[in-house]
Amino acid sequence: MSTAAWASCFALQPVNSCCPCVHNAEIHAAAPLQPALQPHAEVLSRLFPHQRVALAWMVGRENGGALPPFWEERPAAAGRPAAFLNSLTNFVSPQRPEPLRWAERYCE
């Protein structure tokens, strides 16, 4: 194969012509913006946009009252009190688990 033929294999093409999963390059431009947060002033490094979005997601999870990952609430049944089940470890607790505090190290 000649150098020119080899180079033509790697020529830049529109994304929608080489990737069948992308039908329109404007899909991302039309997507709604996700909320983002700035970290506490004590954080000296500058966060990338995807890190600020993740920070907003973590704060929302902490303040939303949702159960931590892998925890499910089991309502009371016949002869059994209500409980919380960790589906990963199969641990059952009568008390609601504490929420995870992911964002504390970035915001406080």
**Per-residue pLDDT tens over the stretch 49-77:** 888 888 888 888 777 778 888 999 999 88
Predicted confidence band of residue 27 (pLDDT cuts 50, 70, 90): very low
Indicate the number of domains in the chain: 1
The verdict on residue 19 lying in a domain is no
What does the pLDDT read at residue 25? 45
What does the pLDDT read at residue 63? 79
CA angle 25, 28, 33 (to 5 degrees): 160
The verdict on residue 81 lying in a domain is yes
The verdict on residue 25 lying in a domain is no
| CATH number of the domain bearing residue 52 | 2.20.70
Spatial distance between the Cα atoms of 32 and 53, rounded to a whole number of angstroms: 13
The verdict on residue 59 lying in a domain is yes
Spatial distance between the Cα atoms of 49 and 104, rounded to a whole number of angstroms: 19
The verdict on residue 12 lying in a domain is no
Query: What is the reported pTM?
Result: 0.45
- Which residue segment(s) compose the domain that 69 sits in? 32-107
The verdict on residue 24 lying in a domain is no
